[in-house]
Amino acid sequence: MSGSESGPQHHFASHFADSGGVDFSGDQSTNITEETREELRQIAARYPQARSALLPMLHLVQSVEGRVTPAGIEACAEILEISTAQVSGVATFYTMYKRKPMGRHHVGVCTTALCAVMGGDQILSDLQDHLGVGNDETTEDGKITLEHVECNAACDFAPVMMVNWEFMDNMTPDSARELVDKLRADEEVTSTRGATISTWRDAERVLAGFDDGRADEGPAAGPASTLGLEIAKEKGWQAPAVPAEAPADAGQEEK
Amino acid sequence: MSEQSVDLLTPVLTRNWGDERAWKLSNYERVGGYAALRKALKQTPDELVNLVKDAGLRGRGGAGFPTGMKWSFVPKDNPNPTYLVINADESEPGTCKDIPLMMASPHTLVEGAIISSYAIGAEHAFIYVRGEVLHVARRLQQAVREAYSAGYLGKNILGSGVNVDLVIHSGAGAYICGEETALLDSLEGLRGQPRLRPPFPAVAGLYASPTVINNVESIASVPCIVDNGKEWFSSMGTEKSKGMTIYSLSGHVKRPGQFEAPMGITLRQLLELAGGVRDGHKLKFWTPGGSSTPILTDEHLDLPLDYEGMAGAGSMLGTKALQIFDDTTSVVRTTLRWVEFYKHESCGKCTPCREGSWWLVQILLRLEAGEGVEGDIEKMLDLCDNIGGRSFCALADGAVACVTSAVRYFREEFEQAYHTPAWELFPYGRSALFASSKEGANA
């Protein structure tokens, strides 16, 4: 990039709109308590070297603060005995860490190539119109932050959406609108392959490694996941029999 | 044992996915779970390494490196502890096999992790799972808790004297962390950026200690090999690509989904099982193993989907993520969206990848809009030449593979982009899987 117009006022324009650091100048209020610090120390204790805990610790900070805050960064730095710059450097690298206050729910629409082509692009633009927000923006009522997300490993359920990082499979513009309307009205929403939707903050707490007791909700697999298995059952196909040391009987037992 | 006819589909890893509450320990044990662990603990670590080597298991995360050989690179005389790190950062566009495995049957992976740790002499193992899959994190965390209570994890496992601790570690959104050395940096609490090799992780990996990094499916394949033997495993598959594996079909097929088959099945066979391409449409192009593997066309339908078959066609087996696009799809648009992904996910460490992917997007954007200028195709290919192979890791190679292969097979479509927008040539609404109310609308 050669800024060719020289002279007194040439401004550097970054192509990375969100490339700034964590804002240490604004509102410095915090929800972090001694209890939070204790939990942060618990996370650090899981690892042979404490610094390994930084990613889950930042997830916990988000669950308490609703974003990565200066106070959260300072707490992590203090516990891990590293500088706040080192923590900020990590917090600004990963897309799941948010520097702006988040809505109650995070709604992601996959727009990586396959989902985009299968309809994800249209779903996203419909939702932006419907909610009156742009990418990575929060609705006025604070209920939903809408973001386009990259491939979420559910391509056989395309087009895919995520709510607080739970799967919403095989979406259409209509089902997407209905979904966000329900979330805004605080109606119960259940993931197509997961648990009842709680909040983004609750999700962040689980990602920090704290159980929310919902592991047994939802199915083992979605229909696409078991398609090959169902076809094999229908056709009587299976893996070869185990070569038996003593002949006969050994092969079929597992079925 | 050889060449008896093997069935077209061979569910092993997917076998219990349809079971009621398959993720619970008791249900996993009911279908024979943790028998392999008991069996493994009666063997020596070396015997297990050799077993996996002889079975012919190759890494299921994309590169296809022989798993047992990777294990054997761990030095025996290094004073530092050895670590096992399982790469569950499944993020390669199109790839969707590890996530359902961990969701449905997390114990398959946990059992594999314990056996593999014992085999390589690790007392500490980590599952690095991408952050954006909350329910998978829950199921894994619960499986680990259950395994500790049952005495399968922790100190003196089943009275064997073997100790293994297993930590579930959620990432925070970064495709690059699927690259093994970036994953290690991330697991050390740093920005996820690839490391220069050598030293290789086997010698200096996590905390500069000997480390084995394997994909979820590779580790999950270990228990069945221990259970059933190397001959059983290698009776499936082809000469150099042994065993069964999970193929993921997505996109413009009637019934997308997961298909576990012997290595070497063809796309034609898989498509038949999936009901074929959408009614009234033809296959246009596909990826064999995610967007980092060069695209192929209908002339490649009968090639064996194994490491050699795909390499022979100038592509790669990758993660066996078969993304199917029919004749409604614009190659230019799809290529743009893939390159936008790599631009977004480039970690920024290497200039060719960081800057080059940005410039590729600029060119592709104007091509999509039908505003390409004479020479754009050559400029793109020249950029690709200066990105691929000139960066620390394979992200850069993946970023250009989709461009160069798309130009190879569909050059005329890129030439049309000098004057006609992609959405006029291929109205986008027609590619969507739902009926579109505003067909052809420019997104």
CB pairs under 8 A between A and B: 309
Would you tell me how many other CB atoms lie within 10 Å of the CB of residue A14?
A: 10
Among the residues of B152-293, which ranges form H helices?
Answer: 180-187, 201-204, 216-220, 222-228, 230-234, 267-273
Q: Which residues, numbered 229 to 248 in chain A, qualify as contacts with chain B under a Cβ-Cβ cut-off of 8 Å?
A: 229-232, 235, 237-240, 242-243
Give average pLDDT by consecutive 10-residue segment, chain A, 255 residues. Answer: 46 54 74 97 98 98 97 97 96 96 97 98 98 97 98 98 98 98 98 98 98 98 98 97 62 41
Of residues B9, B103, B258, nearest to A237 (C-beta): B9
This model of the complex carries an ipTM of 0.95
Two structure tokens written together for B386: 């200066």
Q: Which residues, numbered 9 to 28 in chain A, qualify as contacts with chain B under a Cβ-Cβ cut-off of 8 Å?
A: 15
- Measured on CA atoms in the order B225, B111, B203, B186, is the torsion positive or negative? positive
Taking an 8 Å cut-off on Cβ atoms, the answer to whether B96 and A154 are in contact is yes
Residue B126 has pLDDT above 80, yes or no: yes
How far does CA B371 lie from the centroid of its chain? 36
Taking an 8 Å cut-off on Cβ atoms, the answer to whether A55 and B173 are in contact is no
By three-state DSSP, how is residue B219 classified?
Answer: helix
Two structure tokens written together for B226: 């221990």
**A88: contact with B, CB 8 A cutoff:** no
Report the gap between the CA of A118 and the closest CA in chain B (Å): 4
Asked if omega into A56 is within 30° of 0 (cis), the reply is: no
Report the gap between the CA of A12 and the closest CA in chain B (Å): 17
Quick: pLDDT tens for B21-77.
999 999 999 999 999 999 999 999 999 999 999 999 999 999 999 999 999 999 999
Q: Chain B residues with CB inside 8 Å of A202's CB?
A: none
The Cα–Cα gap between B33 and B30 comes to 7
Cβ atoms of residues A77 and A44 within 8 Å: no
Report the gap between the CA of A153 and the closest CA in chain B (Å): 4
> Which residues, at least 6 apart from B346, have a Cβ–Cβ distance to it below 8 Å?
B176, B353, B354, B357, B395, B396, B399
The residue in chain B having the minimum alpha-carbon distance to the alpha carbon of residue A77 is B189
Q: Which residue has the tokens 């193992």?
A: B125
Q: Where are the domains of chain A?
A: 17-91, 105-198
Taking an 8 Å cut-off on Cβ atoms, the answer to whether B23 and A215 are in contact is yes
> Which residues, at least 6 apart from A173, have a Cβ–Cβ distance to it below 8 Å?
A119, A122, A123, A126, B434, B437
Report the gap between the CA of B198 and the closest CA in chain A (Å): 23
Do β-strands A166-168 and A144-149 pair in parallel, antiparallel, or remain unpaired? unpaired
Cβ atoms of residues B340 and B393 within 8 Å: no
The residue in chain B having the minimum alpha-carbon distance to the alpha carbon of residue A98 is B172
- Taking alpha carbons only, the member of B95, B129, B124, B359 closest to residue B250 is B95
Name the strands in the sheet holding A144-149, side by side, starting at the edge strand that comes first in the sequence: A137-138, A144-149, A105-110, A161-163, A166-168
Taking an 8 Å cut-off on Cβ atoms, the answer to whether B189 and A59 are in contact is no
Average pLDDT over residues B330-341: 98
Taking an 8 Å cut-off on Cβ atoms, the answer to whether A121 and B428 are in contact is yes
The Cα–Cα gap between A76 and B153 comes to 29
Report the gap between the CA of B321 and the closest CA in chain A (Å): 9
Query: Mean pLDDT over all residues of chain B?
Result: 96
Among the residues of chain A, which ranges form H helices?
Answer: 34-44, 54-65, 70-80, 84-91, 113-115, 121-131, 173-184, 200-207, 227-235
**A252: contact with B, CB 8 A cutoff:** no
Report the gap between the CA of B176 and the closest CA in chain A (Å): 10
Among the residues of B329-394, which ranges form H helices?
Answer: 331-345, 351-368, 376-387
- Please report, for residues A148, B55, B223, the alpha-carbon distance to residue B120 in angstroms, rounded to integers and kept in the order given: 41, 17, 15
Two structure tokens written together for A95: 């897309």
The Cα–Cα gap between B5 and A134 comes to 56
By three-state DSSP, how is residue A181 classified?
Answer: helix
Of residues B4, B98, B228, nearest to A242 (C-beta): B228
The pair phi, psi for residue B245, each rounded to 5°, is -155, 165
Taking an 8 Å cut-off on Cβ atoms, the answer to whether B291 and A113 are in contact is yes
Q: Chain B residues with CB inside 8 Å of A97's CB?
A: 172-173
Task: Give the Cα-Cα-Cα angle B4, B5, B10 (nearest 5 degrees).
Answer: 115
**Element housing B398 (H / E):** helix B395-416
Q: Chain A residues with CB inside 8 Å of B229's CB?
A: 242-243
Q: Pick from B34, B135, B233, B263 the residue to mutate for testing the A interface (most A CBs within 10 Å).
A: B135
**A221: contact with B, CB 8 A cutoff:** yes
Q: Chain A residues with CB inside 8 Å of B169's CB?
A: 52, 55-56
Architecture of domain A17-91: Orthogonal Bundle (1.10)
Two structure tokens written together for B170: 């959620």
Q: Which residue has the higher pLDDT, B182 or A248?
A: B182
Two structure tokens written together for B69: 């050989």
Confidence (pLDDT) at A12 = 55
The residue in chain A having the minimum alpha-carbon distance to the alpha carbon of residue B345 is A150
The residue in chain B having the minimum alpha-carbon distance to the alpha carbon of residue A224 is B257
Q: Chain A residues with CB inside 8 Å of B1's CB?
A: 243
Of residues B19, B325, B441, nearest to A220 (C-beta): B19
Q: Pick from A118, A124, A189, A234 the residue to mutate for testing the B interface (most B CBs within 10 Å).
A: A118
What's this model's pTM, rounded to 2 decimal places?
Answer: 0.94
Cβ atoms of residues A192 and A167 within 8 Å: yes
**A149: contact with B, CB 8 A cutoff:** yes
DSSP bridge pairs for B168: B127
The Cα–Cα gap between A12 and B66 comes to 49
Two structure tokens written together for A164: 């607080």
Q: Which residue has the tokens 């969507």?
A: B432
Two structure tokens written together for A238: 């299976």
**CA gyration radius, chain A:** 23
Confidence (pLDDT) at A250 = 41
> Which residues, at least 6 apart from B169, have a Cβ–Cβ distance to it below 8 Å?
A52, A55, A56, B126, B127, B128, B129, B187
Task: Give the Cα-Cα-Cα angle A233, A238, A239 (nearest 5 degrees).
Answer: 155
DSSP class per residue in B23-68: TSHHHHHHTTTTHHHHHHHTS-HHHHHHHHHHHT-B-TTTT--BHH
DSSP bridge pairs for B249: B257, B322
Residue B365 has pLDDT above 50, yes or no: yes
Report the gap between the CA of A239 and the closest CA in chain B (Å): 4
The Cα–Cα gap between B400 and B363 comes to 13
Count of alpha carbons within 13 Å of B112, Cβ hemisphere only? 25
A105-198 has the same fold as A17-91: no
Asked if omega into B199 is within 30° of 0 (cis), the reply is: yes
Two structure tokens written together for A70: 């200066």
Taking an 8 Å cut-off on Cβ atoms, the answer to whether B7 and A89 are in contact is no
**What separation, in Å, do the N-terminal and C-terminal C-alpha atoms of chain B show?**
56
Of residues B172, B188, B441, nearest to A58 (C-beta): B172
Would you tell me how many other CB atoms lie within 10 Å of the CB of residue A3?
A: 9
The residue in chain A having the minimum alpha-carbon distance to the alpha carbon of residue B252 is A118
Average pLDDT over residues B82-99: 98
**A202: contact with B, CB 8 A cutoff:** no
Confidence (pLDDT) at A7 = 46
CATH 3.40.30.10 fits A105-198, yes or no: yes
- Taking alpha carbons only, the member of A178, A170, A183 closest to residue A107 is A183
